[in-house]
Structure formats: C-alpha cells, structure tokens
C-alpha cells in the first residue's frame, strides 16, 4: 500500500488536532512543535521507522527519540494513532493530569513505547548517540541477523543550542555512527522569539565540521520530506535533516510566532485551525479512515519482527543476546572466586586502583560492561585489560575514549543502558560530576543501570587545588532520588560496591574513589557494605562515642578510635559506604549500628560539607559532632591538607573530649 500525500495530509492533521485539543484541555503544554513537525513525523512513521506497536520492546526496532520533549503530544499522538496499547485516548484526554501516563514530558517509565525521558534540552539527542553506539556494538558482537536498526531523533533549536549538542555530535562524528538520523525542527523560533535574537550560527556547516552529512527539506512537502529522509537513511555518516517548518502550522493566526510555542491556542484559534485543516471530527475523535491508515503502518514492522524472531530461533547466540537484553547478569560464581583470589593479594591501594582491579575481575566475566572515561583514563583507572577501544574500525571494542565531554558521556551512557544489552560505566573527576549532573539525575529518573566512576573524591587529591577538590559533591549527589552514592573505604569495600552497583538494574550508582592510597581495613567475607553502613570496629572500653565515616576518612576514624581507647574512652567506628542503603534498612538494624542512646556521642567524619550529616548525629549526646569541610579546599600535598583542615586524630580527639565534657 502506498500512502500518497493526499492520504498523509489528514494523518498529519490528526496529530495536529490531538495536540491542539489535549493542550487546550490541560490548559498547559506546547502545541507549536507537534503541529509544526506533524508532517515530518507522519512521513517518518509511514515510510521509514521500523516499529511494531504490538511489541514495543522488540530489541531490533528502530529507536525513536523525541529530544524536543516539550512537544510530548507529538509522541503521544504517534503511539496512540499507530496502535500501541499505551497511551489510550483516555490518557490523551487527561494529558498532564494526575495519574495520566501522558505526562508533561515523555517518560520512559510510564509508557513502554517511549525510549527515553526527554525535556531537559539536548539530552535526548545525546542519549540517541548512546543508543546508536549500543546498536553498533551489539551488531558487531551478534551480527546483522539480530541487530540491525536505526536511531531517529526529532530535535529542536534548543537541543542544538545547548552545549551538550557539541559533545554529542562530536562523539557521533568521531565514532562514525551512520545509523543515527536527526530531524531538526528548523522553525526559527524559540521561547524568547526569533532565533536571530540569540544565534547567528550556520548549523549545517557546524554539523559538517563534525563529520556529519546534512540534508534539508520543506517540512510541509511530503514528497520533499520523503526524499530528504531517504537520503539520510542511505548515508553512511550520522545525518542531520534540516526540516524547514512553521511552528504551530495550521493555526492560521498564531503559526510562525513564539506565542504558539508553549501555550494553549484558545478556543477561537482552534476553531479557525479546524477550518484551515478541514478537520470536522469532535475533539479526541479520529475519523475511521484516517485511523485505519495510521493503524496500517505497523504491518511493515510486524513483518520485520516476525522475520527477526525466525532468525533468532536459528541463531546460536540468541540465548546470550537475550540475557544481555533482559539485563540479567551472567550466572555462576566465577566473580566471587576471582574476587576472593584478588582480595587475598592486595592491601594498601587507592580506591581508584582497587576499582581498576575490580574491573579486571568483572569485565572479563560480564561482557556487557562497556567502559570509558572523559579523557582521564589513566587517572580514573577505568580501562580493564580485556577491553579494546570502541572505534569505527572495531565496534566490538568495549572501551570508549569519550574525549573531554563529561555531559555527553553521561548522556550516552544513559542511551546505552536504555537501548539495552549494555551495562555502561564511565569516569571523570568527581568535581566534574557538576558538568554532567543533570544526566546523572536522568539516570535516576529513568531507572537505568549507569555506573559513574568519579575519582579524586576530596581534598585528598592534593595539589590540583580548590577548582578540582570536591567539597559539596558527595552530599549533593546523595540528594538525588534513586541514586546510590558509594564511597568505599578500602579495596574490600570497593569490590563490594562494584558488586552492588551491578546488581541494581533500576538504580544508577556513583562510586566516589580516592586518588591517594588507603590501608586495607578489614578482610573480605560477608558483604557488609550491602547494608550501607556497619560497625567496622567495636569499642573495647565502655562505649561513649560512635565515629561514623566514609571513604578515606574511615582510616582517620580508626586512628581517632585508637587514641580514644588509649584514654579509656570506648568508641565504635561505623563505616558508611552508602548512606542511601543504610537509610533503607529496617530500624532494628539501624539501631544495632547506631543505638538510640543519648549518652553516646555520635561523630561524623567526612572531608566534605557537614550539612546532611546531622541526620545521623544530631539526636545524640549534646547534639553530636560533625567533622567536615564547609569551605573550599587549597593546593598542597594531601597529607598536609588533611592536617590543615583537621582530619587527623590530633585535631579531632580534643573536639570529642570537649563535647564529652559538656
């Protein structure tokens, strides 16, 4: 069946009608983009996109990413019209209302057909880069029979203007991701007005400079759209298609202006638009013949899926492929054995080095782990020996040289995890978590297993000084919901934290690791870190103090304890590698570690901001004590800095004695 322009036009108008009506009913939302891109999206779904509404999670589907997530009614319309089970028309009627899966911005965890959560501008396109990387990696690993699809993106001017766009397209160009196709809604309007208010860039030239092909079309001429998308589909390079559109197309008095961007059109304008579009159906009703044309589109993808299923049955790698796509770890206890062998050998190492050793155990056993670093490979210790570089010449490689692109890296990791079949991890200095913070947040919101290896985690990095010394970063990451922030104290805890990070498929992890060496504080055995915090040292004398510390400061706490015990003051040391996991324990365990006894002084020791530690200390004797750093650091060797800022037994013991004497 060939859908000619005279049949495509009413199909596109169905998107326009739903978008106008849903935004009007919600009295909130963005009609301009869905109406402007309706024609392009219709051609994409009618002629190019490989999708099967009956199987939204089919591994070899094309990925469709609405990077301009504010235009969410575009994707809700497309999914409903093509016959996905979700969203229903009832959901669309309740766009942006409590309980509807049609949230303000598209959310992958509410609707199976939505590949990723978008809205924070630029990140959809950058996640699509990760999806295209995942596709090539799995293709190189499992072959064309199982993995052979494209990633299509709809992006707006905001997605192209954000800094992350530079990182994302540079990465895609360098990696030669020819399966990535970006449809740019070139409507020359942003919220503040005409794009000329704030940009004068030659976007096509910039994309070409980054190794992309650039095509263009009249975004309201179906034949021209089909030509341009066809050229992009055929290109071996990542491709940008500049779709010249009119924002709010179809709204006769408002189209082409910035008022149509993010506000309902109003009843009068909607009535006028219906006249222009020849749309006579009631709100939220789609004429049967138009809906039938939409529903016919899935047949192409259904056939492709059935052929794929047949190939899969015959494929010797199908089991392994399915395991990886399901996000299940390999079975067996090889990891435990290998860990045990390694942990017998090591002793005093930096936790970044312990992490490297853990990777050298895990990466050979968990082939879906794909690592990388934002140009700090030798500092983050992120490259396992078994990993070859991921390059255009070898997409089977499992190590990505991301370049100096922290935000682009983190978004690509999200895209790989969302694509499935890969457990991505990536490194940078902890301080530069600031550069990719919103992507870490999107890992958490999207419930993906992305693992961030953030090294150089305190003033302990030494001479690089305050620009590079995290002070507030560890606590600020703890504030992000559904994110586990690990700060291990030695090689044993580092191994345990890596273990746990792999075992939380719906929760991303941060590993905050030291540059400096740390002593081994305990032997392996029971995975104590799994409870978030545990008693590492028990008081010998009558217990008056509990010292709670993380990471490199656990060693300091042990020294403080020894000094207190020497004075006959009993003190526990509690290591708390993961505050979130401890917070999630039952109160019986929490009180076992931190007894509800106001005669005991609780002391937190962490080389970062103290705000937040009162959760565990303030209820104790005299309000507890917080040893931390509520100012920026300084440049000097690490040991001198620890002394200068009071992270030594000599400095801490007198403060404890003073508190005990009150």
Footprint of its own copies on residues 470-499 (CB under 8 A)? 471-472, 475-476, 478-482
Among 50, 61, 105, 456, binds its own copies (CB under 8 A): 105
CA distance 324 to 370: 12
Taking the least distance from each CB to its own copies, the nearer of 256 and 624 is: 624
To the question of whether residue 30 is assigned a binding role by annotation, the answer is yes
Among 54, 85, 611, 658, binds its own copies (CB under 8 A): 611
Enumerate residues 297-326 that contact its own copies by CB under 8 A. none
Enumerate residues 19-38 that contact its own copies by CB under 8 A. 26, 28-29
* SS3 assignment for 611-658: CCCHHHHCCCHHHCEEECCCCCCCCCCHHHHHHHCCCCHHHHHHHHHH
Give Cβ neighbours of residue 457 (< 8 Å, ≥ 6 apart). 430, 470, 473, 474, 487, 512, 513, 514, 515, 551, 552
CA distance 647 to 553: 8
Residue pair 126/167 in contact by the 8 Å Cβ criterion: yes
Beta carbon of residue 100, minimum distance to its own copies (angstroms, whole number): 7
Enumerate residues 230-269 that contact its own copies by CB under 8 A. none
Give Cβ neighbours of residue 61 (< 8 Å, ≥ 6 apart). 50, 51, 52, 55, 149, 301, 305
CA distance 650 to 646: 8
Taking the least distance from each CB to its own copies, the nearer of 43 and 241 is: 241
Tell me phi and psi for residue 184, to 5 degrees: -90, 120
Look up residue 430 and give its DSSP letter.
G
CA distances from 612 to 588, 608, 617, 652 (A): 22, 10, 10, 19
Piece in contact with its own copies (CB under 8 A), picked from 50-58, 90-98, 276-284, 651-659: 90-98
Does position 57 bind its own copies by CB under 8 A?
no
Taken in order 352, 356, 361, 366, the sign of the CA dihedral is positive
To the question of whether residue 432 is assigned a binding role by annotation, the answer is yes
In sequence order, what DSSP letters do the residues of 244-257 get, joined into one string?
E--TTTT-TTTTTS
In sequence order, what DSSP letters do the residues of 453-469 get, joined into one string?
EEES-SGGG-TT-TTT-
Among 88, 216, 322, 379, binds its own copies (CB under 8 A): 379
To the question of whether residue 605 is assigned a binding role by annotation, the answer is no
Among 71, 173, 371, 427, binds its own copies (CB under 8 A): 173
Enumerate residues 106-125 that contact its own copies by CB under 8 A. 107, 117-121
To the question of whether residue 248 is assigned a binding role by annotation, the answer is no
Of 589, 498, 511, 504, the closest CA to residue 551 belongs to 511
- Residue 315: strand, helix, or coil: coil
Taking the least distance from each CB to its own copies, the nearer of 337 and 583 is: 583
Q: Which residue(s) pair with 151 in the sheet?
A: 63, 180
Give the x/- contact pattern for its own copies in 211-230, rule: CB under 8 A.
Answer: x-------------------
Does position 166 bind its own copies by CB under 8 A?
yes
Does position 210 bind its own copies by CB under 8 A?
yes
Piece in contact with its own copies (CB under 8 A), picked from 99-107, 144-152, 360-368, 555-563: 99-107
Does position 161 bind its own copies by CB under 8 A?
yes
Does position 465 bind its own copies by CB under 8 A?
yes
Cis previous bond, 87, omega within 30: yes
Does position 371 bind its own copies by CB under 8 A?
no
Does position 164 bind its own copies by CB under 8 A?
yes
Does position 366 bind its own copies by CB under 8 A?
no
Cα–chain-centroid distance for residue 188?
29
Among 215, 279, 407, 582, binds its own copies (CB under 8 A): 407
Among 66, 73, 103, 557, binds its own copies (CB under 8 A): 103
Enumerate residues 321-360 that contact its own copies by CB under 8 A. none
Piece in contact with its own copies (CB under 8 A), picked from 376-384, 413-421, 494-502, 538-546: 376-384
CA distance 468 to 350: 18
CA distance 548 to 76: 49
Piece in contact with its own copies (CB under 8 A), picked from 10-18, 161-169, 214-222, 357-365: 161-169
Beta carbon of residue 207, minimum distance to its own copies (angstroms, whole number): 9
To the question of whether residue 189 is assigned a binding role by annotation, the answer is yes
Piece in contact with its own copies (CB under 8 A), picked from 222-230, 246-254, 375-383, 505-513: 375-383
- Residue 510: strand, helix, or coil: strand
Does position 197 bind its own copies by CB under 8 A?
yes
Taking the least distance from each CB to its own copies, the nearer of 305 and 352 is: 352
Beta carbon of residue 175, minimum distance to its own copies (angstroms, whole number): 9
Does position 606 bind its own copies by CB under 8 A?
no
CA distances from 388 to 358, 391, 402 (A): 17, 9, 14
Does position 659 bind its own copies by CB under 8 A?
no
Does position 631 bind its own copies by CB under 8 A?
yes
User: How many residues form the binding site for its own copies (CB under 8 A)?
Assistant: 107
CA distance 621 to 543: 13
- Strand 543-549 relative to strand 601-605: parallel, antiparallel, unpaired? parallel
CA distances from 204 to 242, 366, 420 (A): 8, 41, 31
Find tokens 């998107």 and name the residue.
15
Among 36, 59, 69, 264, binds its own copies (CB under 8 A): 69
To the question of whether residue 261 is assigned a binding role by annotation, the answer is yes
Residue pair 94/145 in contact by the 8 Å Cβ criterion: no
Taking the least distance from each CB to its own copies, the nearer of 217 and 439 is: 439
To the question of whether residue 582 is assigned a binding role by annotation, the answer is no
Piece in contact with its own copies (CB under 8 A), picked from 101-109, 299-307, 310-318, 544-552: 101-109
Of 471, 466, 472, the closest CA to residue 634 belongs to 466
Among 165, 187, 455, 529, binds its own copies (CB under 8 A): 165
Does position 581 bind its own copies by CB under 8 A?
no
Find tokens 């504080």 and name the residue.
521
Among 634, 649, 651, 657, binds its own copies (CB under 8 A): 634
To the question of whether residue 258 is assigned a binding role by annotation, the answer is no
Look up residue 25 and give its DSSP letter.
H
Beta carbon of residue 654, minimum distance to its own copies (angstroms, whole number): 21
Residues belonging to the chain: 662
- With vertex at residue 355, the alpha carbon angle to CA 578 and CA 546, rounded to the nearest 5 degrees, is 35
Does position 285 bind its own copies by CB under 8 A?
no
Beta carbon of residue 67, minimum distance to its own copies (angstroms, whole number): 12
Does position 655 bind its own copies by CB under 8 A?
no
Piece in contact with its own copies (CB under 8 A), picked from 289-297, 431-439, 558-566, 650-658: 431-439
Among 162, 185, 213, 555, binds its own copies (CB under 8 A): 162
Tell me phi and psi for residue 131, to 5 degrees: -65, -40
To the question of whether residue 437 is assigned a binding role by annotation, the answer is no
User: What residues are labeled active site?
Assistant: 406
In sequence order, what DSSP letters do the residues of 372-411 get, joined into one string?
EESS-HHHHT---TTPPB-BTTBTT--EEE--S-HHHHHH
To the question of whether residue 662 is assigned a binding role by annotation, the answer is no
Terminal alpha carbon distance of the chain:
86
Where is the binding site for thiamine diphosphate, in residues?
A: 70, 119-121, 158, 187, 261, 432
Task: Show binding-site residues.
Answer: 30, 70, 119-121, 157-158, 187, 189, 261, 352, 379, 432, 456, 464, 468, 515
């Amino acid at each position: 069946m060939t859908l000619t322009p005279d049949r495509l036009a009413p199909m596109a108008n169905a998107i326009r009608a739903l978008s106008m009506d849903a935004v009007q009913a919600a009295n909130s939302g963005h009609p301009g983009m869905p109406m402007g891109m309706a024609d392009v999206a219709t051609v994409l779904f009618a002629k190019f996109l490989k999708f099967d509404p009956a199987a939204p999670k089919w591994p070899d589907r094309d990925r469709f990413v609405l990077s301009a997530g504010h235009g969410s009614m575009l994707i809700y319309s497309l999914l409903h019209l093509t016959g996905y089970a979700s969203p229903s028309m009832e959901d669309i009627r309740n766009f942006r209302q409590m309980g509807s899966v049609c949230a303000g911005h598209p959310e992958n965890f509410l609707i199976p057909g939505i590949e990723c959560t978008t809205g924070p501008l630029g990140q959809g396109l950058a996640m699509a880069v990760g999806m295209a990387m995942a596709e090539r990696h799995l293709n190189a690993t499992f072959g064309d029979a199982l993995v052979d699809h494209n990633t299509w993106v709809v992006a707006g001017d905001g997605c192209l203007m954000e800094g992350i766009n530079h990182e994302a397209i540079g990465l895609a160009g360098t990696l030669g991701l020819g399966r990535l196709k970006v449809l740019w809604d070139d409507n020359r309007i942003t919220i503040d007005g005409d794009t000329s208010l704030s940009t004068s860039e030659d976007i096509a030239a910039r994309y070409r400079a980054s190794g992309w092909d650039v095509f263009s079309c009249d975004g309201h001429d179906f034949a021209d759209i089909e030509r341009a998308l066809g050229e992009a589909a055929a290109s071996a390079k990542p491709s940008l298609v500049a779709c010249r559109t009119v924002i709010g197309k179809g709204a006769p008095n408002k189209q082409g202006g910035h008022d149509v961007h993010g506000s309902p059109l109003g009843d009068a304008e909607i009535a006028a638009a219906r006249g222009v579009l020849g749309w006579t159906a009631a709100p939220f009703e789609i004429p049967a013949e138009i809906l039938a044309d939409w529903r016919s589109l899935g047949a192409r993808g259904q056939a492709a899926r059935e052929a794929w299923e047949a190939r899969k049955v015959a494929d010797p790698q199908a089991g392994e492929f399915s395991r990886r796509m399901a996000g299940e770890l390999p079975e067996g206890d090889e990891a435990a054995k290998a860990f045990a062998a390694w942990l017998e050998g090591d002793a005093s190492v930096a936790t970044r080095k312990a992490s490297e050793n853990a990777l050298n155990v895990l990466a050979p056993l968990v082939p879906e782990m794909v690592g990388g670093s934002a140009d700090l490979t030798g500092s983050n210790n992120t490259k396992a020996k078994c990993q070859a570089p991921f390059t255009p010449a070898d997409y089977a490689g499992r190590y990505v040289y991301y370049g100096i692109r922290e935000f682009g890296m983190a978004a690509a990791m999200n895209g790989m995890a969302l694509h499935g079949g890969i457990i991505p991890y990536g490194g940078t200095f902890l301080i530069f978590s600031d550069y990719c913070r919103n992507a870490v947040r999107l890992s958490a919101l999207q419930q993906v297993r992305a693992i961030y290896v953030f090294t150089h985690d305190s003033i302990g990095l030494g001479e690089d000084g305050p620009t590079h010394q995290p002070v507030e970063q560890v606590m600020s990451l703890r504030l992000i919901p559904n994110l586990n922030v690990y700060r291990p104290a030695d090689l044993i805890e580092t191994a345990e934290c890596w273990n746990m990070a792999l075992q939380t498929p719906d929760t991303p992890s941060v590993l905050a690791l030291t540059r400096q060496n740390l002593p081994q504080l305990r032997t392996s055995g029971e995975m104590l870190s799994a409870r978030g915090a545990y008693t590492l040292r028990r008081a010998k004398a009558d217990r008056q103090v509990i010292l709670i510390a993380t990471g490199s400061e656990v060693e300091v706490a042990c020294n403080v304890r020894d000094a207190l015990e020497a004075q006959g003051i009993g003190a526990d040391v509690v290591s708390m590698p993961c505050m979130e996991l401890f917070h999630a324990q039952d109160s019986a365990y929490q009180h076992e570690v931190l007894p509800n006894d106001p005669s005991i002084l609780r002391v937190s020791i962490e080389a970062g901001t103290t705000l937040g530690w009162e959760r565990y200390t303030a209820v104790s004797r005299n309000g507890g004590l917080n040893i931390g750093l509520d100012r920026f650091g300084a440049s000097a060797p690490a040991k001198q800095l620890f002394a200068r800022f009071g992270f030594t037994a000599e400095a801490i013991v007198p403060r404890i004695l003073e508190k005990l004497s009150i």
